[in-house]
A and B are shown apart, each in its own frame.
Chain A
């Protein structure tokens, strides 16, 4: 079985400062990990995914995430926040053994002017 924990329900950063959204996972098998973003009244959009290739994954809009097996983490980062980054972010885990995609509870990112 697998699970995913997003450690912060809300994160606030000032525009232009770094963003860190934390995600820890547990999985009995080799996981595939994803980050999705959901803007208000919009559908979910894939930011990036890890599927056993390079551990540092680059996504859209300047986001990246690093898969750290020893820490069972897949934290999402961005060097410089933009106002348009304000949204809800979901960390997702799945494996090639289980058909469910498991979502974290989400982290709401607030960008302060």
Chain B
């Protein structure tokens, strides 16, 4: 597609359940990022994928969070045993190059609400 696609756009889940968020980057974009934006706060880095290199997971807040990416295509962010503090908008971005000199294209995000 023309842009970064994220699904679902909205997700309401019960505390303790697992959720999976999906990101389809722009075809050919080697770099893929996941960010989280909690209400009233700035964007928080979660994880970064670059081609076939080992991902940078330094932003994942706990071991309940994990992410996978198949080659240079789809990525999934999984949150296990969700907690209310996980409620946020989860944004995915992709870039043509590692340095992002062409800019980063963001998806519209997945709004996660844990009740």
Contacts and interface: CB of A to CB of B under 8 A. Distances in A.
Interface of A: 32, 34, 36, 42-46, 49, 51, 90, 92, 94-96, 99-106
A51 B31 contact: no
Interface in B25-41: 31, 33, 35, 41
A103 B56 contact: no
A66 B50 CA distance: 30
Given A100-B48, A100-B56, A32 B42 contact: no
A32 to B, nearest CB: 6
Nearest 6 Cβ contacts at the A-B interface: A105-B42, A44-B106, A43-B108, A103-B43, A96-B99, A46-B103
A100 B45 contact: yes
A32 B100 contact: yes
A99 B31 contact: yes
A99 B45 contact: no
Contacts of B98: 96, 99
B91 interface: yes
Given A43-B106, A94-B99, A99-B56, 5 more contacts: A42-B108, A43-B108, A43-B109, A44-B93, A46-B105
Contacts of A92: 104
